Amino acid sequence: DIVRGKDLYNGNNRKGEKLEAKIKEYFQKIYDDLMKDLKNKPEKEEKRKNAEARYKDTENYYQLREDWWDANRHTVWEAITCHAGKDDAYFRNSSGGEYKFTSGYCGRDETDVPTNLDYVPQFLR
């Protein structure tokens, strides 16, 4: 939620504002690097135009943040779970009970990152 710019609990506190400003700074750098890579290269002209149209919000970079999350969620999930203890488990509720990771430490040997809560409004989780 924080990366995607959808964190409800960011609030108006100073810490949340500083975090949001830092995230915007990172995504501005990602945007600038992308545009620099696509600039002045005739073979990438179409990609540059598409990127400029897609990422026209250069104040908050919400679309870029969403795309970054889609591209990197698996790596982030692996980083989060990599140092989990042997007996640690992530539970997902279902009508049949609870599900645990299948096995393994780093990334928990999951082929699919659990995205069941990605787009559920934060206040409902």
Q: For residue range 109-124, what is the model confidence (pLDDT) as tens digits?
A: 556 666 665 665 555 5
Average pLDDT on 86-93 reads 61
In a domain, 69, yes or no: yes
Q: Cα(112)–Cα(109) distance, rounded to whole angstroms?
A: 9
- Which residue range(s) make up the domain with 35? 8-124
Q: Cα(4)–Cα(63) distance, rounded to whole angstroms?
A: 8
Other Cβ atoms closer than 10 A to 6: 16
Contacts of 57 (CB under 8 A, 6+ apart): 63, 64
Whether the pLDDT of residue 35 is over 90: the answer is yes
**pLDDT for res 6:** 58
In a domain, 45, yes or no: yes
Provide the mean pLDDT of the chain. 76
Between 61 and 15, the more confident residue is 61
The domain tally of the chain equals 1
**pLDDT for res 32:** 96
In a domain, 2, yes or no: no
pTM score: 0.67
Whether the pLDDT of residue 33 is over 80: the answer is yes
In a domain, 76, yes or no: yes
**pLDDT for res 40:** 82
Q: Which helix (H) or strand (E) holds 92?
A: strand 92-94
Between 24 and 14, the more confident residue is 24
User: Long-range contacts for 24-33 (Cβ within 8 Å, ≥24 apart)?
Assistant: 24/59, 24/60, 24/61, 27/61, 27/64, 27/65, 27/68, 28/58, 28/61, 30/61, 30/64, 30/68, 31/55, 31/58, 31/61, 31/64
In a domain, 40, yes or no: yes
Average pLDDT on 70-83 reads 80
